[in-house]
Chains A and B, each alone.
Chain A
Amino acid sequence: MTIVWWQILLLTALAFWMIIDQITVGILCNYPLLIGFVAGIIMSDIKTGLVVGATLQLMVLGVGTYGGASMPDFMTGAIIGTAYAVMTGKGIDFAIGLAVPVGLLMVQLDVLARFINTFFLHRVDKHIAEGDTKNVARNIVYGVFPWGLSRAVPVFIMLIVGNNVVSKIVEWMPQWLSNGLNVAGGILPVVGIAILLRFLPTKKFIAYLIVGFIAAAYLKMPMLGVALLGLALAIMYYKQNDNSDNNKSQSQDDGGVENELGEYEN
């Protein structure tokens, strides 16, 4: 199946919007699953979009963009992966094999966008000194363009020129590589899980990790059921610590705010 011009335009618009969404309203946010879902709707193959997005989502579960760190851009990966999976009919594994390198390369453009915005910052400084509030506001809003274009331009180019290039790659790809990509797609979620476990105070809550594992691996409980089980445990935890915390806070001063960050590092 080939891609038609309005699909290219919509996917490009999605690429522009998704990064703005991420830094503002947070509906699609930096979640490859949701981007893949929308890209699947645009390509009129929702299932492919969901599977591509879900696989990429699991790789970045615990990866955030905090303190200005860039994360692998698997949102762009989800768009490109979904589009090419539908175009070539080569399936999900091929899409993942394409989406991962694209996502990793796109990090550079995220860095570039954040860097370019420094230019607007200095123009804002200049206009503040002049007391020119109109231009202060205007230059802040200009920040939209480095953000949006850093995603939209590469997606547009890849969709326009990609048609021929990708079909060549598909012809060239040997069997062992597609087998390998298939396996890689299956185990890549471990990365996201491991990152999450590193970020969270896993040692403190290791018992709950095991409970979740038993529920799914031995009892074959569906994910929503596990989430409800976790919710019940969370409520119990909250209520139990209620009393002990009340006693503590009577003897101690409220220094709770300062301690919050430190506690995660235990």
Chain B
Amino acid sequence: MISVRDIHKAFGKVRAVRGVSFDAPDGKITGLLGPNGAGKSTTLRILYTVLEPDAGTAHVDGIDVVSDQLAARKRLGALPHGSGLYPHLTARENIEYFARLCRVDKAEIPDRIAEIVRLLEIEDFADRRTKGFSHGQRTKVALARSLVHDPRNIILDEPTSGLDVMATRSLRELILKLRNEGRCVLFSSHIMQEVAALCDDICIIAHGRVAIDDSIDGIRERTGCEDIEDAFVEAIQLVEPA
């Protein structure tokens, strides 16, 4: 369960996030939707604690992400945008490195990795060095890496960008599986169709503010647009630029 209350973040004069609030409950997929530069990544980066908000609070399972970073990170699995792997390590070693850093019980690591390798269908290339992996393979391994410590809350920053149809489809299935296990999944995208197809709740943000936070039907109703893309464009108009 992730909750964000009125967070602000500026980089110099650029006010990237200007008061974003939303909740991402357990057992649900929450989509953070917005055009490029809307503040999606900044919001997520604050959640997975690599940035600190200038104002406002954010909690993961009730743990403050600013005052208790380590405890919050323990409950989080994050897939930052454009996540890279260590090219000289095999996929399995990449995952194992993160497992060790997350202090997964040493005796359990092989089983845990085997399980995650199966879940993400990366058996075929698990023991190859990741140099030269396709974008889809890299994304899968990076995701496996961030799930290895069995986090209850999962943050994915534009996980499908650059993936082909097949890879996108299997990633979607995985996200659904994670949700059905009762986890809290929060993911960002700038593609309305994708979010609509997958998410239980959608939080549309633009210019660093929340435009609409509702279910897909709720958004259709409030914007008066039947077409989801029109609804998205309409929603963005609700926010004044900074």
Question: Is B truly associated with A?
Answer: no
Residues of chain A whose beta carbon lies under 8 Å from any beta carbon of chain B: none
Residues of chain B whose beta carbon lies under 8 Å from any beta carbon of chain A: none
